[in-house]
Structure 1
């Protein structure tokens, strides 16, 4: 019985799993923040481009009568 209790006390597998779970959570949160930030930047770039084109773009035929 004493041997089993010592093994249980010395077992660190659960602690390592918790540490890896926290690390994965931090990486996931950072990834989500990066995707949101990049998405906002790309959206503003397209909005700026549309503004520079004065609301008109090229349609499939290339005649310049399309809309943003």
Structure 2
């Protein structure tokens, strides 16, 4: 009976360490990273077009 109780306590302790919030925070970080990547690509695209259309860019061609 004592070993069963000890085993159940160990299982409960391990279960408490791995909460569903761990996976949730990982998903949130992935969404933030995706948003930042999309924003960076969009900004660089507009910046590249602005530089290509600038009068000084003709000097480098």
Count of residue pairs the alignment pairs up: 56
The RMSD of aligned alpha carbons is 2.5
Structure 2: any 5+ residue segments left out of the alignment? none
TM-score scaled by structure 1?
0.59
More strand by share: 1
**Which structure exhibits the higher relative contact order, with contacts defined as CA atoms closer than 8 Å and separated by 6 or more residues?**
1
**Distance apart, 1:33 and its partner CA:** 0.7
More helix by share: 2
